[in-house]
Amino acid sequence: MRSFIKASEVVDRRIGWDKLPPWLGIGVLVGIRDALREHNLYDTYEGDPPAAPAHYPAEYLTNRTADGSYNDLAEPSMGMANTRFGRNVAPALGRPEPPPGLMDPNPRLVSTELLLRDEFRPAETLNILAAAWLQFETHDWFSHGTDDNRMLKIPVPEGDDWDGETIDVPATPVDPQSPPGRPSFVNRETHWWDASQIYGSSVEFQQHIRTPAECNDGKVRIDQDGFIDVAPAVIQSSGGADGWWVGFELMGTIFMREHNAICDRLRAAYPEWTGDQIFNKARLINAALLAKIHTVEWTPAILDHPTLHIGMRANWFGLAGEKVGQLVGRIGASDLVSGIPGSQTDHHSAAYSITEDFVTVYRMHPLIPDDYTFEPITGDSAPQGLSFGDLHGVANSRGVLKRLGMTNCLYSLGIAHPGAVTLHNSPKFMRQFHSEKHLIDLIAVDILRSRERGVPRYNEFRRQLRLKPATSFEEISGGDRATAEKMREIYGGDIEKVDTTVGMFGEKLPPGFGFSDTAFRIFVLMATRRLKSDRFYTVDFTPQVYTPEGMAWIADNTMTSVLLRHDPALEPVLRNVKNPFAPWPRMRHA
């Protein structure tokens, strides 16, 4: 095994996995992933996790708990809400940068000169629903929260148009139980891939989103017009208010409706079940469907490379393929042959958690456009232009959905491109972003957060992933000489200071990729880990736990079938669409 791993890394360095024929590329990626599993997983609890709350076995053996506890029965607190983020780099290198390094160079200057959108650069292989989907999923995986009692003050550069001398950003809360000199940070969401962006990470949140107990139907609150029937205060308490916009609400609406459709199927099969039984099982099924869609549809759309098309389907179905699995089931224990779902659980070299490094590589704000055109699918009225500000916030989002209709909103985002994840393409509206309590430069905050939370800068980050560091600013300037010069000026000629986000946005991408190869290394590791560590995707991915009806629901559905179930008017445009996260064809009208 070690010789295979070493050979894979040598081939990758000398040739590049992306330049090999797909089946050879798959072999190299397997070796890269195995090396990352061995060297790039660190448990910040170092074997001394906190205790989990008490539960009865009936609450967790075949159900997900609200807070994510008891997924691992031997270590019940693993991955639960309000536990620490892990690391993908050695803890000694994952220490937050103290002042003055925290502001060196000035995050606002980096934001303005290297990241802020000068003109919109589209990602032409994707649609805006792909951007909305990513935001929807990241709300499932992580949330740090903020500490308003500690403010980080970004100095406003001379000549800047900001009103004031500093941009005041609330700090990230530090786990008070962290070891001296090694602060860790806590994930307010569960670390598991369990659809907590819908169901929350607490019993209290679930009670808010569920229909009244007397209904006994296990459903979530959807009003008579088909919209999410949850009070804005509940959304705000969950941390969703700042990120709420039309794209995010559309995803939430669709999969809350999907939950209720699953409930109807379960009620028909099990009329004697209680509402709690139906809710818990529907949640399990809905979460697995989300994970499947992300694995075999969204990922091949944003990483449109032949090797990844094979590899991501293999993660779910195995190289034997979907049809073989349907006919004969698993062929042995190998993930590679039959896929991760239904295999043995394995945390590899560290207890499972989402990592700080994973959070950094998923900062892909350039995907979000500043301006939108909403077109009626029937062509019976003129297109309407709106800004992100018109779509942002609970009131604005709901107003647009009610005025234009869900069908037209989905269609309009489906035919339009998101932004490319590159330098000089972060949204203009983020430069002065009104969060719930503060006015901030969200682009500068992206830079600040990685420094604050101890993610190494770009070159050291690459070294820790056993990649070659950049040796010149030209390598990471997006091929633009003026950008390279500006980068050299901002970082004082020291390439070791370049921020990870800046380097990733500027490096040359593999063919078909929507984000960098550096970010992809974390993806290779964590995409499989989120499935492989979760018993509900491994040993308990069975008809006994999910029900036969649940297993069939997961197997038979795709993002397209979900969209059509809840919006049949989209059928003419989706009829020949292979991947719903790629641009949809425009409807032709007489």
For the ranges 305-314, 348-357, 430-439, the lowest mean pLDDT is seen at 430-439
Position 47 pLDDT exceeds 90: no
pLDDT score recorded for residue 137 = 96
Position 95 pLDDT exceeds 90: no
pLDDT score recorded for residue 232 = 66
Position 141 pLDDT exceeds 70: yes
Element at 440 (helix H, strand E): strand 439-440
pLDDT score recorded for residue 315 = 94
DSSP 390-424: HHBSHHHHHHHHHHH-HHHHHHHHHHS--B-SSTT
Report the distance separating Cα 420 and Cα 424, nearest Å. Answer: 10
Phi/psi of residue 274, each to 5°?
-80, 165
Position 239 pLDDT exceeds 80: no
Phi/psi of residue 121, each to 5°?
-105, 110
Name the residue type at position 589: H
Please list the residues that pair with 222 across neighbouring strands.
228
Name the residue type at position 553: W
Q: Is the entire prediction scored with pTM above 0.85?
A: yes
Residue positions counted in the chain: 590
List 39, 55, 139, 347, catalytic entry: 139
pLDDT score recorded for residue 7 = 87
pLDDT score recorded for residue 162 = 94
Tell me the per-residue pLDDT of 331-371, one tens digit each, with 9 for 90 and over: 888 888 999 999 999 999 999 999 999 999 999 999 999 99
Mean pLDDT value of segment 493-522: 96
Contact by Cβ (8 Å): 505, 424? no
- Average pLDDT across the chain, whole number: 94
Tell me the per-residue pLDDT of 455-474, one tens digit each, with 9 for 90 and over: 999 999 999 999 999 999 99
| 224 contacts: CB under 8 Å, gap ≥ 6 | none
Report the distance separating Cα 317 and Cα 310, nearest Å. Answer: 10
Position 517 pLDDT exceeds 90: yes
Q: Does the annotation mark 392 as catalytic?
A: no
Report the distance separating Cα 539 and Cα 298, nearest Å. Answer: 25
Burial of 469 (0-12, 13-18, 19+ CB in 10 A): middle
Contact by Cβ (8 Å): 448, 170? no
Handedness of CA 529, 68, 261, 343 (dihedral sign): positive
pLDDT band at 99 (very low <50, low <70, confident <90, very high): confident
What is the chain's Cα-based Rg? Answer: 23
pLDDT score recorded for residue 589 = 72
| 352 contacts: CB under 8 Å, gap ≥ 6 | 72, 78, 79, 86, 191, 529, 533, 534
569-574, long-range: CB < 8 A, 24+ apart = 569/377, 569/407, 570/377, 570/407, 570/410, 570/411, 573/377, 573/411, 573/414
Structure tokens at 149: 């009692």
- Tokens 């500093």 correspond to what residue? 166
Report the distance separating Cα 52 and Cα 189, nearest Å. Answer: 15
Phi/psi of residue 426, each to 5°?
-80, 140
The angle that helices 128-141 and 246-269 make with each other, rounded to 10 degrees, is: 70
Phi/psi of residue 27, each to 5°?
-60, -40
pLDDT band at 590 (very low <50, low <70, confident <90, very high): low
Position 322 pLDDT exceeds 90: no
Percent of the chain with pLDDT over 90: 85
pLDDT score recorded for residue 549 = 98
Position 269 pLDDT exceeds 90: yes
Report the distance separating Cα 454 and Cα 362, nearest Å. Answer: 16
